[in-house]
Structure 1
Amino acid sequence: MSSVALGSVFVDVGCLRKQNEVGRLKVSRRNGSVLRVRASVASSQQSLKLAKPEAQKSEKTVRIGVLGASGYTGAEIIRLLANHPQFGITLMTADRKAGQSIGSVFPHLVTQDLPDMIAVKDADFSDVDAVFCCLPHGTTQEIIKCLPRGLKIVDLSADFRLRDIDEYEEWYGLPHKAPELQKEAIYGLTEVLRDEIRNARLIANPGCYPTSIQLPLIPLIKAHLIELTNIIIDAKSGVSGAGRGAKEANLYTEISEGIHSYGITKHRHVPEIEQGLSDASHSKVTVSFTPHLMPMSRGMQSTIYVQMAPGVTIEDLYQQLKTTYEIDNLVKGASGQAVQNLNLMMGFPENMGLQYQSLFP
Structure 2
Amino acid sequence: MSRSPEPDTDETAAAERLRHALGPVTAVRDTALGGGLYNSVRLFELADGRSLVLKTAPPAGTPCLTYEQGLLGTEALFHRLAAGAGVRVPAVLHHEPAGPRTPAEWLLLSHLDGTTWDAARDRIAPAERAALRRELGEALARTASVTGPAHGYPRPAAGLSAPDWPTAFAAMLRAVLADAHRFGVALPAPAGDLADLPRRFGRRLAEVCRPALVHFDAWEGNVVLGRTGDGGWRLAGLIDGERAFFGDPLAELVGLDPLGTAEDDPDLMAGYRSVAPLPPLGTGARIRLALYRIHLALVMRVEAVPRAYEGGFATWLATWSAGRVTEQLAVLDALAP
TM-score, normalised with respect to structure 1: 0.30
**Of Structure 1 and Structure 2, which has the larger fraction of its residues in helix?**
2
TM-score, normalised with respect to structure 2: 0.32
Which protein, 1 or 2, shows the higher relative CO under an 8 Å CA cutoff with sep ≥ 6? 1
